[in-house]
Amino acid sequence: MRQQTRKPLEEMQIDQVKLELNSRDDIPQVLGGLQYIFLNPVLLGQVLKILEGLFPKIDLSNGRPGMDMWSIFVMGVLRLNLNCDYDRLHNLVNNHKMIHQILGHGIVDGQYDYYLQTLKDNVSLLTPEMLDQINQVVVNAGHQLIKKKN
């Protein structure tokens, strides 16, 4: 498998990902939520602030390529919401076009493959406490969105 250098967060074109929101499958709905978080700078900043606690635990010099915070977050959300094991997650992130795009890989970026062990090592760093904090931030943002619409 081939890995390439990651784009900076501000260069990812996640806003241009076309999701099939009328699909009855759960993946497009999960990706729609992730896209909303990414496109809301305040919400994204709050989520990334919580995720900053991951990086002291990630050793990028141990011979395995690391992952950025956004990728870890996306994969953690997918794993939790789809109730999937690491083998299915590995297959999805390497072969599902919309997931690849939400991870920040454009169609013209070429293939970016994630190694199974890298997924296990990095996604497992998301603790239940961290996910609960992120959940509270997202729920609060949802309440604010509903208040604005009313």
Domain count of the fold of the chain:
1
Tally of CB atoms within 10 A around 37: 22
- pTM of the predicted model as reported, rounded to 2 decimal places: 0.83
> How distant, in Å, are the alpha carbons of 67, 90, 145 from that of 70?
8, 16, 23
Residue 28: domain span = 9-149
pLDDT tens-place string over residues 50-94: 988 776 655 544 434 568 889 999 999 999 999 999 999 999 999
In a domain, residue 4? The reply is: no
pLDDT tens-place string over residues 11-36: 678 888 999 888 999 999 999 999 99
How far is CA 45 from its chain centroid? 14
In a domain, residue 1? The reply is: no
